[in-house]
Structures are given as C-alpha cells and as structure tokens.
C-alpha cells in the first residue's frame, strides 16, 4: 500500500510541475462522479481508489501546491512537509501543552517552532503563541484573547465595536458569532488604493466612538 501511494504521489508532483498557470481547472461534473464510489464495509482495490481520487478530486478546482498558485495562503504542499504530516498521523501522539506528560518531546518541538517564528518577526523572548489548523481557528483564538483581555461580559457585547473593511474575510464574521459577539457593532473602515485599511481614518473612527461611549455614560445609558 505504501509503495502504491508513494508512486501515485510522485506522478502527481511531476504533473504539477508541468501544469501551466492559471492553476484552476473546471470540470463539468465538479467531482460528482465520486458519489458513485459509495462507502461500504468491504474494502476496495487501492489502485482503483487512487484512480477515482485523481479523476474526481484532484482533476478539478484549484491546484494549491503549484508554485504559481497565489490565490491565498495555504500549505505549500512540500514533499518533506508531507512526510512530516505522515509521521504525525501514523504515530498519533497527543501533543498538547496542557498535557505535557503525554508527549513532552512533541510539545517542546511545537514551542521551538513558535519561538523560531517569533524570532523572524523580532518578537520579544517572552512572546507566546499557538499553532492552529488554519486561519479560521486562528481568528477565533485572536478575538477570544482580545475579549478576555478586556474582561468583557455578556452585558458588554452590545457596546463592543469591531472595525473591518468591506473585503474582510468571512471567517471574521463567523468567529464573532462563535464567541458570542453577534450583537457587536460592526464599523467598516475605508481602504486605500491598495485595498488596505486606512489607519488614519481608523484612528479617527475610534476617537469618535470613544466620545460617544463617554457621552452615553454621562447620561446614565449603557
């Protein structure tokens, strides 16, 4: 099984290198043929499964591991990294900081990686961090951290102001719902010519909103 999968992966990587930009393929059935391969109790031939996988999964959509694909930030699809994922999946060690005793070496490995990334951005030595499965989870943790740092309670949520642009990723809105800030005030900040949030306007908006909050408190309103 290992040899068959490895050969399939190597053929795939060779095809990726030859693929031209744009790195997007549209198939008429959009992978619907996969539905004909039902999940059953009896095993199927591995080579047949790999063939189905290539035809109905890999043949359509974005080819994220192509060097020319710059649509958004994803994993690089690097072969050494894939082997690392393979080892992590096979060994299935429980690497959680809260359970250091379960696999101390894996926790140390994660801490080393976080420290290395922090160093790339010149963060102070006492900086801390966490590895997440992706951007959506990272946004949830970031917003929760901000909420806890201000010691916000449910009664405060209607006064919370969230500043974003019209091009803000949908994961931010989902994260606000996840952490209970659905009632927060959403303020859209204008962007510059490069579609970046304008910091000068943002500062002015924050200044104005603070004046409103002070005025409400003076009048005894929450």
pTM: 0.73
**What is the model's pLDDT at position 218?**
60
**What is the model's pLDDT at position 222?**
57
45-85 per-position pLDDT tens digit: 999 999 999 988 888 887 778 777 777 666 667 788 889 88
Given pLDDT bands bounded at 50, 70 and 90, which one contains residue 116?
very high
Give the residue extent of every domain in the chain: 2-85, 98-131, 135-218
How many helices (H) and strands (E) in the chain? 7, 4
pLDDT at 19 over 80: no
- Measured in residues, the chain has a length of 222
**What is the model's pLDDT at position 219?**
58
**What is the model's pLDDT at position 76?**
65
Return the half-sphere exposure (C-beta side, CA atoms, 13 A cut-off) of residue 101: 0
6, two tokens = 């490895």
pLDDT, mean of residues 140-153: 93
Which residues make Cβ contacts (< 8 Å) with residue 64, sequence separation at least 6?
23, 74, 75, 77
- How far apart, in whole angstroms, are the C-alpha atoms of residue 222 and residue 212? 11
pLDDT, mean of residues 187-216: 90
Task: Check residues 22 and 124 and name the one with the higher pLDDT.
Answer: 124
Given pLDDT bands bounded at 50, 70 and 90, which one contains residue 124?
very high
**What is the model's pLDDT at position 74?**
63
Indicate the pairing of strand 161-164 with strand 185-188.
parallel
**What is the model's pLDDT at position 101?**
83
Closest by alpha carbon to 131, among 84, 79, 80, 68? 84
- Secondary element (H or E) of residue 17: helix 2-18
């Amino acid at each position: 099984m290992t040899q068959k999968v490895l050969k399939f992966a190597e053929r795939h990587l060779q095809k990726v290198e030859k693929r031209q930009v744009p790195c997007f393929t549209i198939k008429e059935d959009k992978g619907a043929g996969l539905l004909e391969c039902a999940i059953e109790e009896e095993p199927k031939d591995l080579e047949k499964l790999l063939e189905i996988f290539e035809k109905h999964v890999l043949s359509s959509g974005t080819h994220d591991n192509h060097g020319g694909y710059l649509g958004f930030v994803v994993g690089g699809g690097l072969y050494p990294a894939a082997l690392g994922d393979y080892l992590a999946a096979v060994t299935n060690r429980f690497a959680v900081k809260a359970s250091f005793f379960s696999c101390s070496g894996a926790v140390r490995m994660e801490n080393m990686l976080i420290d290395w990334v922090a160093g790339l951005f010149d963060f102070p030595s006492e900086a801390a961090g966490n590895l997440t499965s992706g951007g959506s989870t990272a946004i949830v943790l970031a917003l929760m951290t901000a909420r806890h740092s201000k010691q916000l309670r449910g009664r405060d949520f209607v006064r919370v102001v969230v500043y974003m642009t019209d091009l803000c990723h949908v994961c931010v809105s989902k994260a606000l719902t996840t952490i209970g800030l659905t009632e927060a005030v959403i303020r859209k900040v204008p962007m510059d010519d490069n579609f970046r949030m304008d910091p000068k306007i943002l500062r002015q908006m924050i200044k104005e909103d603070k004046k409103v909050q002070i005025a409400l408190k003076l009048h005894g309103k929450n």
